[in-house]
């Protein structure tokens, strides 16, 4: 399939290490993928679902000890420990290679070695990058064939170049004690052993497109961010693009695929999805910031996805989708998860492979759920009814606004605009979200998650902040405007005050108006907050006083917040850019 000497040498080295029975290069053809699907169905690795109701769809179950990303076993392996920084686990590269090779040695015996050439981003796009993943799992091959562009065309585009990322995965015994997800940013290499769960083994996603790519972006002058990308079309047919970063469980996929309220639809407003998780951004020839979605599919959380919460995501899963750890409805051979609808199947197999029926469900006890809370769908992006026509073009879309956000019951207003790029970097660096009852542990604990990159930044976060500041200097007055949103303000009883979901469009409209100099704002200590009358409440059962209450910036709450940010900043030591220290000092002074 290729004459690329570096590729062939690496494949040979890995082959000698793991000793497979067979080797198969993934060419990207439907015939080959079909052959693999058939093998996986025969071995039980996949279950074929109802061809009429869910054409081309399959179900897979992982081991019970292997259902999520494992941050405590994820390492950044750089020569100098300092380069990984205080927010990553670090390991010496030479030691780690030795450890991993010892774990993987000989483990492909009796198995096939699959070699997947893949492109992150449309093949040949100047913003795209190429990788190869070696794996012993058909599940990985089939998921990668949805999440990325794979096959011969990728190798043809790579030619003789050595600019590609090496990704090696070995399932081994799925032993949690010997599970490692390791990034070697100095070598463009990723090694993952003893897992078979998506986030740990689909090496194009978090490992490459965020951890390795953020490091590459730092060295090469571009940005790899944990951001959705959407296009907002106004009644004149003009589309403006925004990128947004929220921590997990804050509704990134929902915002990316938002359906505007009816009155706005009737006026001609529309949202187009470019991406739901990752954005790669570079400065274009005209000096503006351009973004592509490096992925080709959605690896979305299933529970809670339904016709109301995210119609477009649900539609995306209706064909050619792989479901992982959801429940199997045995009456009609379809899938189900908590929050899909109010009709749980009478006869089901739960995600652990055991018989399940609705009488077994106890809301407070997640172990009784039919689907695992982190069960997933892997759906082709082309299935999405609102996929942007720019999605598959390699040029990228010009970004007008960057939005940060999190879940804050009291502190942060519904939306505010930072005073300038530097101030926006400060807002992103201090980003935080409160834990909910949906996750184990205490409720309402504030977790700092700068730019939603805490588990994904492949280098020292102080250097990462500096890189953001440097990008702003290069962009100058062409820089996107930076905003912060919070859909989660509550009253004293804990009820959400903002309706969220499609109604977030009302906030997006204010953001775009601000970018175009069309909306007014009130300057506060933290930034520019909308005048209440500029957030359109048409058809909404909400009074002005409630709206005003979620636009407030309470000085006492924010003084506490500033003190917490100061504490958070201590982690970064000398690497904390002076600009951010100054931003914090200015905030404190503004608060009086
Ligand atoms: C994801 C995550 O799976 O951010 O996208 O955890
Ligand atoms: Mn994500």
With a 6 A CB cut-off, is 276 part of the ligand 1 pocket? no
- CATH code of the domain covering residue 461: 3.90.228.20
Asked if residue 494 and residue 367 are part of one domain, the reply reads no
In a domain, 510, yes or no: yes
- How many DSSP H helices and E strands does the chain contain? 16, 31
- Helix crossing, 461-475 with 578-591: angle to 10°? 80
Q: With a 6 A CB cut-off, is 277 part of the ligand 1 pocket?
A: yes
- Positions marked active-site: 250
Q: Which atom of ligand 1 is nearest to the CA of 277?
A: 5
271 and 411 together in one domain? yes
Hey, how many other C-beta atoms are within 10 angstroms of the C-beta on 9? 10
Cα 567 to ligand 1 centre (Å): 27
Find where tokens 């605009």 sit: 417
Whether residue 199 has its Cβ less than 6 Å from ligand 1: yes
The bridge status of strand 58-60 relative to strand 74-76 is unpaired
First-last CA distance in the chain? 66
Note whether residue 554 is domain-resident: yes
- CB of 428 closer than 8 Å to CB of 245: yes
Give the CATH number, domain containing residue 332: 2.170.8.10
Ligand number, closest to the Cα atom of 376: 1
pLDDT over threshold 90, residue 444: no
Residue 50 lies in a domain: no
Average pLDDT value for the chain: 96
Atom of ligand 1 nearest to the CA of 248: 4
pLDDT tens-digit series, residues 208-266: 999 999 999 999 999 999 999 999 999 999 999 999 999 987 889 999 999 999 999 99
DSSP string of 287-315, one letter each residue? SSEEEE---SEEEEE-TT--HHHHHHHHH
Residue 65 lies in a domain: no
Same domain, 335 and 429: no
Q: Provide φ and ψ at 271, rounded to 5°.
A: -110, 135
Q: Are residues 369 and 407 in the same domain?
A: no
* 58 is a domain residue: no
Confidence of residue 438 (pLDDT cuts 50, 70, 90): low
| Same structural domain, 426 and 494 | yes
pLDDT band of 106, cuts 50, 70, 90: very high
Residues 6+ apart with CB under 8 A from 540: 261, 499, 503, 506
**C-alpha span between 504 and 498 (Å, rounded):** 9
- Count Cβ atoms below 10 Å from residue 573 Cβ, excluding itself: 12
> What is residue 156's DSSP assignment?
H
Task: State the residue for tokens 């070995």.
Answer: 170
What average pLDDT does range 72-85 have in this prediction? 97
Cα–Cα distance measured from residue 328 to residue 306, given in angstroms and rounded to the nearest whole number: 17
Q: Could you tell me if 431 and 548 lie in one domain?
A: yes
In DSSP terms, which residues pair with 528 in a beta bridge? 417, 523
For residues 560 and 576, membership in a common domain is answered with yes
Closest ligand by atom to 298 CA: 1
User: Do 298 and 377 touch, CB atoms closer than 8 A?
Assistant: yes
- Between CA 507 and CA 540 the distance in angstroms is 13
Task: Give the residue whose CA is nearest to atom 5 of ligand 1.
Answer: 277
pLDDT at 439: 52
> Do 205 and 342 belong together in one domain?
no
Q: Could you tell me if residue 49 is inside a domain?
A: no
Q: What is the pLDDT of residues 536-547, one digit of tens each?
A: 999 999 999 999
Q: Name the band, by pLDDT with cuts 50, 70 and 90, for residue 401.
A: very high
Q: Degrees (nearest 5) of the Cα angle 468, 526, 419? A: 50
Cβ–Cβ under 8 Å, residues 415 and 514 = no
The number of the ligand 1 atom at minimal distance from the alpha carbon of 456 is 4
Q: What per-residue string of b and e applies to 123-133 under the rule 16 or more CB within 10 Å gives b?
A: bebebbbbbbb
436 has pLDDT over 70: no
| Binding site membership of 306 for ligand 1 (Cβ less than 6 Å) | no
248 lines ligand 1 (CB under 6 A): yes
- Can you give 554-569 as a three-state secondary structure string? CHHHHHHHHHHHHHHH
Residue 445: pLDDT band with limits 50, 70, 90: confident
Query: Rounded CA gap, 499 and 487, in Å?
Result: 8
Instruction: Tell me the per-residue pLDDT of 258-311, one tens digit each, with 9 for 90 and over.
Output: 999 999 999 999 999 999 999 999 999 999 999 999 999 999 999 999 999 999
Shared domain for 174 and 306, answered yes or no, is: no
Residue 51, domain member (yes or no) = no
Residue 386 CA to ligand 2 centre (angstroms): 20
The burial of 157, by beta-carbon neighbours within 10 Å (0-12 exposed, 13-18 middle, 19 or more buried), is given as middle
Do 250 and 170 lie in one domain? The reply is no
Torsion of CA 353, 316, 313, 402, to 10 degrees: 130
Domain boundary among 201, 221, 241: 221
Please choose, from the candidates 443, 305, 316, 427, the residue with its C-alpha nearest in 3D space to the C-alpha of residue 374.
305
Q: Which residues sit with Cβ closer than 5 angstroms to ligand 2, an ion?
A: 277
- pLDDT band at 437; cut points 50, 70, 90: low
- The SS3 assignment for 527 reads coil
Under 8 Å between Cβ of 153 and 28: yes
> CB-side exposure of 470: number of CA atoms within 13 Å?
15
Residue of minimum CA distance from atom 3 in ligand 1: 199
CA of 455 to the centre of ligand 2 (A): 10
Q: What is the CATH number of the domain that holds 77?
A: 3.40.449.10
Last residue of a domain, one of 221, 249, 277: 221
For the record, the structure tokens of 175 come out as 């032993």
Mean pLDDT of 179-203: 97
Gap from CA of 299 to ligand 2 centroid (Å): 9
Average pLDDT over residues 344-368: 96
Mean pLDDT of 75-85: 98
Residue of 71, 200, 277 to test ligand 1 pocket, by largest number of atoms within 8 Å of CB:
277
Expressed as residue numbers, the domain containing 586 is: 225-294+390-591
Instruction: Calculate ∠ Cα 323-435-298, nearest 5°.
Output: 25
The ligand with the least distance to the CA atom of 244 is 2
Phi, psi of 414 (to 5 degrees): -45, -45
Atom 4 of ligand 1, residue of closest alpha carbon: 248
Banded model confidence at residue 440, pLDDT cuts 50, 70, 90: low
Q: Are 367 and 416 contained in the same domain?
A: no
Pocket test for ligand 1, best of 199, 228, 294 (most atoms within 8 A of CB): 199
CA dihedral 580, 585, 586, 589 (to 10 degrees): 170
Q: Whose CA is nearest to atom 1 of ligand 1?
A: 248
For residues 373 and 460, membership in a common domain is answered with no
Is residue 446's pLDDT more than 70? yes
CB 434 within 8 A of CB 445: yes
* Residue 398, C-beta contacts closer than 8 angstroms, at least 6 positions apart: 241, 284, 286, 288, 289, 290
On whether residue 60 sits in a domain, the answer given is no
pLDDT digits (tens, 9 = 90+) for 474-512: 999 999 999 999 999 999 998 999 999 999 999 999 999
Greatest CA separation found in the chain?
Answer: 70
Give the chain's domain count: 3
**Dist CA 528 CA 523 (whole Å):** 5
CA of 379 to the centre of ligand 2 (A): 15
- Counting from 1 in the atom list of ligand 1, the atom nearest the Cα of 376 is 3
Last residue of a domain, one of 352, 383, 414: 383
- 295 Cβ below 6 A of ligand 1: no
Average pLDDT estimate for 100-125: 98
| pLDDT tens sequence across 2-54 | 999 999 999 999 999 999 999 999 999 999 999 999 999 999 999 999 999 99
């Amino acid at each position: 399939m290729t004459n690329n000497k570096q590729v062939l040498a690496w494949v040979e080295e890995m082959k000698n290490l793991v000793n497979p029975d067979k080797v198969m290069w993934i060419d990207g053809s439907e015939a080959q993928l079909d052959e693999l699907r058939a093998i996986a169905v025969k071995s039980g690795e996949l279950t074929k679902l109802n061809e009429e109701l869910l054409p081309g769809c399959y179900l897979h179950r992982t081991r019970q000890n292997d259902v999520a990303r494992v941050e405590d076993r994820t390492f950044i392996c750089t020569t100098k420990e300092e380069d990984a920084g205080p927010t990553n686990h670090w390991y010496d590269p030479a030691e780690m290679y030795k450890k991993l090779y010892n774990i993987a040695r000989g483990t492909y015996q009796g198995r096939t070695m699959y070699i997947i050439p893949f492109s992150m981003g449309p093949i040949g796009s100047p913003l795209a990058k190429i990788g190869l993943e070696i794996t012993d799992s058909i599940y990985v091959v089939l998921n990668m064939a949805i999440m990325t562009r794979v096959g011969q065309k990728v190798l043809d585009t790579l030619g003789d170049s050595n600019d590609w990322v090496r990704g090696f995965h070995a399932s081994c015994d799925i032993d949690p004690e010997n599970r490692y997800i390791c990034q070697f940013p100095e070598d463009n290499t990723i090694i993952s052993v003893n897992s078979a769960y998506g986030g740990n083994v689909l090496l194009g996603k978090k490992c490459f497109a965020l951890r390795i790519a953020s490091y590459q972006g730092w060295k090469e002058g571009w940005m790899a961010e944990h951001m959705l990308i959407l296009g907002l079309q106004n009644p004149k047919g003009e589309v403006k693009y925004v990128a947004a970063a929220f921590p997990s469980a804050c509704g990134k996929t929902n915002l990316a695929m938002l359906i505007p309220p009816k009155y706005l639809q009737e006026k001609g407003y529309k949202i187009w999805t470019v991406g739901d998780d990752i954005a790669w951004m570079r400065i274009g020839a005209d000096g503006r910031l351009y973004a592509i979605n490096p992925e080709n599919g959605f690896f979305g959380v299933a529970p809670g996805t339904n016709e109301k919460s995210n119609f477009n995501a649900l539609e995306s899963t209706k064909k050619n989708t792989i479901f992982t750890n959801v429940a199997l409805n045995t009456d009609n051979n379809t899938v189900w998860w908590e929050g899909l609808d109010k009709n749980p199947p009478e006869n089901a197999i739960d995600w652990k492979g055991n018989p399940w029926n609705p009488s077994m469900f106890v809301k407070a006890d997640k172990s009784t759920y039919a689907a695992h809370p982190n069960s997933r769908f892997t759906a082709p992006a082309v299935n999405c009814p609102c996929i942007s026509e720019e999605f598959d073009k390699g040029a990228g879309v010009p970004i007008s606004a960057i939005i940060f956000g999190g879940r804050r019951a009291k502190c942060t207003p519904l939306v505010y605009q930072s005073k300038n790029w530097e101030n926006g970097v400060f807002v992103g660096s201090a980003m935080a979200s409160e834990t909910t009852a949906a996750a184990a542990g205490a409720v309402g604990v504030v977790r700092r998650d700068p730019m939603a990159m805490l588990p994904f930044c492949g280098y020292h976060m102080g250097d990462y902040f500096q890189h953001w500041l440097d990008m702003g200097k290069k962009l100058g007055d062409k820089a996107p405007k930076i905003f912060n949103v919070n859909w989660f303000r509550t009253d004293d009883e804990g009820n959400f005050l903002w309706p969220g979901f499609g109604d977030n469009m009302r906030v997006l409209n204010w953001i775009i108006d601000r970018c175009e100099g069309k909306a007014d704002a009130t300057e506060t200590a933290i930034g520019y907050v909308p005048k209440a009358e500029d957030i359109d409440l048409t058809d909404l059962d909400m009074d002005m006083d409630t709206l005003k209450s979620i636009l407030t910036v309470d000085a006492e709450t924010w003084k506490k917040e500033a003190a917490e940010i100061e504490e958070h900043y201590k982690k970064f030591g000398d690497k904390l850019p002076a600009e951010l220290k100054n931003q914090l000092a200015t905030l404190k002074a503004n608060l009086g």
